[in-house]
Amino acid sequence: MTKPIYILNGPNLNRLGKREPEIYGRTTLAEVEAMCREAAGDRPLRFHQSNAEHEIIGWIHEATDEGAGIIINPAAFTFTSIAILDALKMFPGPIIELHISNIHRREAIYHNSLVSKTATAVIAGLGANGYGVAVGAMLTLLQTRG
Ligand code: CA2
């Protein structure tokens, strides 16, 4: 059976498309999910969002047992969560860290990603379209690995 790609979204991303459209755009998280499913084709996806760190860690553990790859937008946990970093270190497959905005163009508090230390690749600044790009890149990474 084909293993799923996990797409994990951190705090406040359930509000996507409803606040700060000048930074995060007008696409909702439900629309992002639809975009990812379209880009994934036959590859199964498990798409989740949580405002709770422990839930995200639980999904990373589940992906470690059952998943092929992880695409993660950890939102604010990017800069604070050693627990998420430690969980990702246990994951044997490719990890793509994704940000809707270009975090490096923003205030200094958004510059030091802990998650990047374990990511295979980082995508930032492509808006919601970055999710589709990430799914395409993940499919290529998984093909290359066999
Ligand atoms: O650009 C991104 O995707 C971020 O991961 C979003 C995080 C921010 O802490 C990161 O630095 C960059 C914030 C997510 C906030 O989500 C909102 C969604 C809708 C409206 C307002 C905020």
Residue range 55-106, pLDDT digits in tens: 999 999 999 999 999 999 999 999 999 999 999 999 999 999 999 999 999 8
Sequence-ordered list of residues with C-beta below 8 angstroms from that of 58, at least 6 positions apart, any chain: none
Please give the helix or strand (H or E) that residue 33 lies within, else none: helix 29-40
Does the C-beta of 73 come closer than 6 Å to ligand 1? yes
Q: How far is ligand 1, taken at its centre, from the CA of residue 140, in Å? A: 26
Does the C-beta of 113 come closer than 6 Å to ligand 1? no
**SS3 call for 102:** coil
The fold of 5-145 is: Rossmann fold (3.40.50)
| pLDDT-derived band at 146, boundaries 50, 70, 90 | low
pTM of the model: 0.96
